[in-house]
Structure 1
Amino acid sequence: MEMEASRSRQAGGPAVTTLLFLFFVAGAATNSIGAFTGLDTMFRMTAGGIAVACLLILIVRFVARRKD
């Protein structure tokens, strides 16, 4: 029973964590490299915002896991 409660708190498990890391890296890289390649500012800021959102979600998931 305890394992079911723990599993329901961490929706998605490692697959979601992996996807969040991939989106974080892609967004951060686009934001960083975009300045040198001449990408539109709005596109770079959107990519940076996605990276920040993914990072925040990863931190929240990490803290929630540590409380178990």
Structure 2
Amino acid sequence: MNNDNAVTRSSSPVLLWLVLAVSAVVNAGGPLVGLGLPVRMVAGGIALGTIALLVTHHVRRRRQLGDRRVR
């Protein structure tokens, strides 16, 4: 028996959260350990990109769940 209403989960949000945490630590802790401004700027850019991907994933997942509830 197939459950067509089951939500498939992927590991992408877990990896995105991990990348976000690491880049945030590098960005915030950079001055304490003497990292240069370019390295911190790249870490901040990665953090912003990761946040955008997490929001996109969340919105797409909500739309998929909404479509399944309507049927």
TM-score interval, smaller chain: 0.7 to 0.9
Tell me how far apart the structure 1 counterparts of residues 47 and 22 of structure 2 sit (CA, whole Å): 8
Matching residue within 17, 25, 32 for 1:29 = 25
- TM normalised by structure 1 equals 0.77
When the two structures are aligned, how many residues end up with a matched partner? 61
Matching residue within 12, 24, 27 for 1:16 = 12
Higher helix fraction: Structure 1 or Structure 2? 1
Aligned alpha-carbon RMSD (Å): 2.0
Identity of aligned residues (%): 32
User: Is 1:44 the equivalent of 2:29?
Assistant: no
Gaps of 5+ in 1: none
Say which one has the larger Rg.
2
- TM normalised by structure 2 equals 0.74
